[in-house]
Amino acid sequence: MTTTPTAAFPADAPGALGRGEAGAPGPASGRRSAGTVARGLVALTKPRIIELLLVTTVPTMLLAQRGLPSVTLVLATLVGGTLAAGSANTINCYLDRDIDAVMKRTARRPLVAGGHGTIRPGEALAWGIALGAGATALLGLMANWLAASLADAAILFYIFIYTLLLKRRSPANIVIGGAAGCFPVLVGWAAVKGTIAVPAIVLFAVIFLWTPPHFWALAMKFRKDYAAAGIPMLPVVAPAVEVTRKIVWYSYAMVAATLALVPYAGWIYGAGALGLGGWFLAEAHRLHALVARAGPSGANPGATGSARPAPIRLFHLSIGYLTLLFAVVAVTALLPWGRW
Amino acid sequence: MADSAGGAWSFGSSILTFAFPMILFIVVAVALYVLYTKPEVVPGHRTPSVERPVSYTAIPGTPAATEVPGSPASAAGAPAAPTSPAGAAGSPAGDGARAGQGENAEPEARA
């Protein structure tokens, strides 16, 4: 494992905060304003990721209700889900602060001493636990305890299975660990129904199968970063063409899973899922073809413009795909027609 | 590690990143389905009242409560008022007394 700045420099030590890697004063030297701390605490929750989790929760609630659930329940579930995801992300930042310092993409996170360094590790851990407790209480009291238990399971899965067990050890880290990101649909369904049903499990499957293409596309872009941090993401340990082949496999499995919801969600949803699935598959195949043409290394110095493999394009497309797919779920749940 | 990309890649690793997660997912999905699709096994489960259309108006000579098939009380095999344990015990006041205690009016308490 790479020696990191924080490994040689205990960030929990008094006075550690705010110093740069070479001991130079960092942005958090001296007293921190409340605004700085607040911004740091919010940044630890990774709000951009939470946004995507919530995009999947509300349509699932609409589908479970076959209409609009009570506004109070929707708000409670959204706030509870936000707190739960924020808790998992914050504790993840706490545990991964050593490798975050090594990776360019994460080097400016609030816990990285050489980056922003605005939050002490102990504060981050306490913040993460408090968010988790708040999520449990809110979901349990305002929705039901099954929803609260599922949110807790997601937090624990993300921390113990993904972050601590798999992330630094297995190329399957994001595949299995990605299941944590599928829980919001179960939470949303359970909040409305008090149980779990087949449509919720199908949506769980959709996100589970969507996660590898999404993250492997990102990891292809930041392959050197992950390699420097010693994280065995698939693009780090496998040839690029093998990664894109797996992306294509998972994409087909994901599209098949989206179609499994058709008997429940109706033909309008089916048409939308088919169209969006075709779009995703076309992009996955395009990436695979470009990478295969580029050779084993995945880099084709001679290629220019659209002929150059651009995995980040699939990454962005995957976000749009999931958002649109769940938008279709929401619309079909609200429409009085369009079902079988 | 970056330089070794491809060299260390094997069929076993391919299984690890596709077949194993898929099997694991199926196991988890089945477990979730078995554990939590039945309301009666979900701890603290509250059934929304709108899903339980029940008539409580007692009409002389007819059962005191007519429940829809599939509701928890009928699913559990609980008989309608005339064949309730009190009635079966031959207590003429049984039904009325139980209704007065609100037992028929609160089917949730039995669920």
Contacts of A320 (CB under 8 A, 6+ apart): none
Distance CA B2, CA A85 (A): 31
Q: Give the one of B8, B22, B45 whose C-beta lies nearest to A237's C-beta.
A: B8
Q: Which residues on A lie below 8 Å from B31 (Cβ)? A: none
pLDDT digits (tens, 9 = 90+) for A186-232: 999 999 999 999 999 999 999 999 999 999 999 999 999 999 999 99
Distance CA A322, CA A332 (A): 15
* Amino acid B18: pLDDT: 87
* Amino acid A305: pLDDT: 60
pLDDT digits (tens, 9 = 90+) for B6-30: 455 677 777 888 888 889 888 988 9
Per-residue pLDDT band for B46 (boundaries 50, 70, 90) equals low
pLDDT digits (tens, 9 = 90+) for B57-109: 666 665 555 555 544 444 444 444 443 333 333 333 333 333 333 333 333 33
Would the CB atoms of A205 and B2 count as touching at under 8 Å? no
Work out the minimum CA distance from B91 to partner chain A, whole angstroms.
38
pLDDT digits (tens, 9 = 90+) for A1-56: 333 333 322 233 333 333 333 333 344 446 788 888 899 999 999 998 888 888 99
Global ipTM: 0.72
Q: Which residues on B lie below 8 Å from A179 (Cβ)? A: 25, 28
Q: Give the one of B6, B35, B36 whose C-beta lies nearest to A238's C-beta.
A: B6
Query: pTM for the complete prediction?
Result: 0.75
Domains of chain A in start order, with CATH, are: 36-193 (1.10.357.140), 197-340 (1.20.120)
Inter-residue long-range contacts of A144-148, CB under 8 Å, 24+ positions, other chains counted:
A144/A190, A144/A191, A144/A194, A144/B44, A144/B45, A144/B46, A145/B43, A145/B44, A146/A190, A146/A194, A146/A195, A146/A196, A146/B36, A146/B42, A146/B43, A146/B44, A146/B45, A147/A77, A147/A80, A147/A187, A147/A190, A147/A191, A148/A80
Question: Quick one: which H or E segment has residue A262?
Answer: helix A262-265
pLDDT digits (tens, 9 = 90+) for A272-290: 999 999 999 999 999 999 9
Q: Which residues on B lie below 8 Å from A195 (Cβ)? A: 36-39, 42, 45
What is the pLDDT averaged over residues B48-57? Answer: 56
Interface with chain B: mutation pick from A103, A192, A201, highest number of B CBs within 10 Å: A201
Q: Give the one of A194, A236, A253 whose C-beta lies nearest to B47's C-beta.
A: A194
> Which residues share a beta bridge with A306?
none
pLDDT digits (tens, 9 = 90+) for A250-265: 999 999 999 999 999 9
| Domains of chain B by residue range | 9-41, 49-109
* Amino acid B102: pLDDT: 37
